[in-house]
Amino acid sequence: MNKRSERLDELLDVFDKGYSLCAQYDEIPHQYGEEVLYQSEMHFLQAVGNTGDITITTISQQLGKTTSACSQMVRKLKKKNLIEQRRNEKNNREYYLNLTPKGKEIYLAHEKLDHKCIQRTKEVLDEFNDEELEIYIRIQKQLNETFQKDVQENGALVTLKAVN
């Protein structure tokens, strides 16, 4: 194996390790006061808290989830008294989502935690100059394009297998 191939293998191994750590973090339940939430729940709360008067359809588009999955999340978060639904007066089939006072409290606590994590990450990355960061961004964008093609191709294969 040549040096370039070894370097690319190392890059992908480091990427895989980072992905694995992010996946592990997302699977860990987080404590917000007395409430325990998973990242998927918190991301949903963030979408509601960032916008307010948002619909399930809009959230599903923002989060890249099905409306069915988002409807299930709404039921779960309503049961925890974190979000509330209000019927759209102009369209009876549509509901607006908003945070409850308890939901707002958790949303704000998470925003503080998020800010702290982002600051820590920025401090760690301060050792890199702008040119190095630009190179990383270019590399990651290229990898993302490749990953997107993998998803599209493998999604098509899964669909074809399901049809046959």
Average pLDDT, the chain: 90
Residue 158: its pLDDT value, please? 52
Q: What is the DSSP letter of 54?
A: B
> β-strand 83-88 against 91-99: which pairing, if any?
antiparallel
Q: Look at residue 111 in the predicted model and tell me its pLDDT.
A: 92
Q: How far does the chain reach from its first CA to its final CA, in angstroms?
A: 40
Report percent pLDDT > 70 for the chain.
95
Domain-wise residue ranges, the chain: 28-127
Our CA angle for 18, 19, 24, nearest 5°, is 100
- pLDDT tens-digit map of 97-147: 999 999 999 999 999 989 999 999 999 999 999 999 999 999 999 999 998
Task: Please list the residues that pair with 91 across neighbouring strands.
Answer: 88
pTM of the model: 0.77
- To the question of domain 28-127 being in CATH 2.40.50.140, the answer is no
Confidence of residue 164 (pLDDT cuts 50, 70, 90): very low
Q: Which DSSP category does 89 fall into?
A: T
Decide if pLDDT at 27 tops 60: yes
